[in-house]
Amino acid sequence: MPRRYRGTIGEVPVVHPEAQRLIAAYRLQPHPEGGWYRETYRSAERVTTSRGTVRSATTSIYFLLTSAGFSAFHRLASDETWHFYRGDPVTVEIIAASGVHESRPLGGDTLQTTIVGGAHFAAHVDAQDGYAFVGCDVAPGFEFADFHLTTRSMLTAAYPHLGPLIARYTR
């Protein structure tokens, strides 16, 4: 039986000692969608989006996810590119506005993927006691005003054919 690592940082469970080390070393904080993050860059250049809002041209974060949790389905107004740094593969579950579902693995031979703005997406690490350390770039830049944590009932009503997937990755 594999060795189980258990611990908490704050109120959030962490399962792997390297994940705990990265959280401390990079001063990561709990993210509302799940996982841990820290903003590392916010462009001083401002752009006007197609929606008429003014945003930084781009923003970047570190993001850490463990198998003890998941990044719940959410939606951003802007495109988001994920870059895999280390750890175990992470799967990004994407639901396009059309209702088409796609699972994109990140890690191994695939080190980068982009989720288009307006898509609902969630992420998870399936390796037992696993973790994934990634970077995420959002352009135009991230603002919490553009972040929509999706509710199970809203997403299931829109995409009933994806009910089990939605139930698994919403809170």
Domain for residue 55, yes or no?
yes
pLDDT value, residue 5: 37
Measured distance between the N- and C-terminal CA atoms of the chain, rounded to whole angstroms: 30
Domain for residue 113, yes or no?
yes
Domain for residue 17, yes or no?
yes
Structural domain for 103, as ranges: 7-168
Average pLDDT estimate for 11-22: 77
Average pLDDT estimate for 156-166: 98
d(CA 155, CA 165): 10
- Average pLDDT in the chain: 92
Assess contact for 16 and 131: CB atoms under 8 A.
yes
- The reported pTM is 0.89
Domain count, the chain: 1
Domain for residue 28, yes or no?
yes
Domain for residue 156, yes or no?
yes
CATH number at residue 27: 2.60.120.10
In what helix (H) or strand (E) does residue 157 lie, and over which residues does it extend?
helix 152-158
DSSP string, 100-137: -EEEEEEBTTB-EEEE-TT-EEEEEE-STT-EEEEEEE
Domain for residue 2, yes or no?
no
Domain for residue 122, yes or no?
yes
